[in-house]
Amino acid sequence: MKPPASLHLQRGQSLVGMMIGLLISLLTIAAMLVTYRNIIEATGNASRSALRDGQVASALLAAQIEMQQAGFGIPATDTLNSRLRIDEAGRRLVWRFKPALDQADQCAGLHLLDQPSGTQRRGLYRLPPRSCTSAAGVTWDASEMQPIAADAAFFEPTQKDGSAYAGNDREVGALTLAPAGAGSGYRFVASSASCMPFQQQDDVLQSGRRVSLRQSSQDVLFSVCLPNLVEVAAP
């Protein structure tokens, strides 16, 4: 007996069809995994950069607030060099002030260590107040220096495994104090300026001092006015 014609039209799933379907599925899954990995890496880099930039910003703000002490209670007739001093090729800033008008003079400062020294890591350090008669010649032991922020906050960013970024793979957005080349780097610079904090009533003061942390005239991390350091012309 001859089978019905409809039976000749029925076909099962072939091995070739299964392999093509499996290939398409694998390609789709691989594309999804690559997209997921890229998203995770971009999110992680952005998070690390944001955290680092936040640490740098808060540290520099704390430094600027401390610097407002410079010259407080010190007679304007004292030499400017005895009230504010920049040493070590611009890496150390020291200022003299009175904690209160009826107290003895003290000196405090900031020290930028852009290369490791002994057990000290690179970073921006706070030099705690100590008794002094002039900002010149004051020294601090290494054990007294207090880091304002972690080493990683100020210098070259690293990958998750601790290795440095290279070439175009360097992390974008991280604010660093790493020198751009041999012999260069961020330094404290003092300049003459008639100023007040937040540029209020700048025309009221005589010529004072403005201190910047900069690498060049275009690359300035902060510039702060020190209104207590008024310069008095010699009679």
> What pLDDT score was predicted for residue 235?
47
Q: For residues 77 and 204, what is the distance between their CA atoms, to the nearest angstrom?
A: 19
> What pLDDT score was predicted for residue 15?
80
Residue pair 91/114 in contact by the 8 Å Cβ criterion? yes
- Does the predicted TM-score (pTM) go above 0.85? no
> What pLDDT score was predicted for residue 159?
66
Q: For residues 7 and 22, what is the distance between their CA atoms, to the nearest angstrom?
A: 28
Tens digits of residue pLDDT in 118-156: 788 888 899 999 999 999 989 999 889 998 876 777 776
Instruction: Examine the pLDDT at 214 and tell me if it is beyond 70.
Output: yes
Banded model confidence at residue 184, pLDDT cuts 50, 70, 90: low
Sheet holding 146-147, edge to edge: 84-87, 92-97, 106-113, 123-131, 146-147
Q: For residues 154 and 147, what is the distance between their CA atoms, to the nearest angstrom?
A: 11
On the 0-12 / 13-18 / 19+ scale of CB atoms within 10 A, 76 is middle
Look up residue 12 and give its two tokens: 């099962």
Q: For residues 177 and 222, what is the distance between their CA atoms, to the nearest angstrom?
A: 12
